[in-house]
Amino acid sequence: MLTALVTVFCTFIFSGVLASRFTHIWQRQSWLQQQRIVDRENEIKILRELIERFSTLAGRRQHKMLRLVLAIKALDKPLIEKRSIEYDEISEEWNSNIVSLYSNITMYIDFYHTKELESIQNRFAKIGNKISVIKRSTPGIARNREINDIISALNEIQGSLGNLQKRLIRVVFDKKKEIYAEIEINEDNLDRIPTWKLFKSLFERRIKRQEIV
């Protein structure tokens, strides 16, 4: 009788300790998983703000450059002065943000997209130099040809900006899907899997039943 009571008592204590241990582990794993989700959601928020800032600044710079070139083509001196001031303002804002855009795109996305932005920046710089030249050049056929070439180059940049923006948005969508996607269990990510899921996986069939076709 005493042995039975001791056995029951020990079983009760052991079960309580074991349950408490499992509960602690489960709560910790759940908290870590929730924190990872929060961190990834914050990362997506930062990416959205980054893409919006890039799109706004790049779009404004391309637009102001085009307006200035069209004013030069029209030989309207007062309008040229006005458009030049507007272009200088957006150029300064763009240049003050470009290093931040480089670092953030590299850190939150990858270096490949940063290289794309660097290519666009180089094209902006070259066109800016050409605009400075045609502003001082004498009106004529050669100047009009240069202006038309600049307008074509700016239209091409607009297309490049649109394509880069679409790819950046796709990155955000993919990252958002990854947050709630089913995680495949393997030895490299056991610390990311909640305890209840690990326990459940012990009873899941690993080999699919062969089907006769």
pLDDT in tens, 143-184: 899 999 999 999 999 999 999 999 999 988 888 887 766 555
DSSP 3-state assignment of 160? helix
Q: Give the confidence band of 212 by pLDDT, cuts at 50, 70, 90.
A: very low
CATH code of the domain made up of 43-178: 1.20.120
Residue 108, pLDDT score? 86
Q: Give the confidence band of 133 by pLDDT, cuts at 50, 70, 90.
A: very high
Instruction: Give the residue among 65, 170, 59 at the shortest CA–CA distance from 113.
Output: 170
Distances (CA, A) of 133 to 62, 80, 140, 207, 208: 18, 14, 14, 71, 70
Q: Model pTM?
A: 0.69
Instruction: Give the residue among 75, 175, 153, 171 at the shortest CA–CA distance from 114.
Output: 171
If one compares 194 and 141, the residue with the highest pLDDT of the two is 141
pLDDT in tens, 9-67: 556 565 655 556 656 555 666 655 676 767 778 888 888 999 999 999 999 999 999 99
C-alpha R_g of the chain: 31
Q: Fill in the DSSP letter of residue 190.
A: G
Mean pLDDT of 108-115: 90
Per-residue burial over 43-75, b = 16 or more CB atoms within 10 Å of its CB, e = otherwise: bbeebeebbeebbebbebbbebbbebbebbbee
**Domain boundaries defined on the chain:** 43-178
Whole-number average pLDDT of the chain = 80
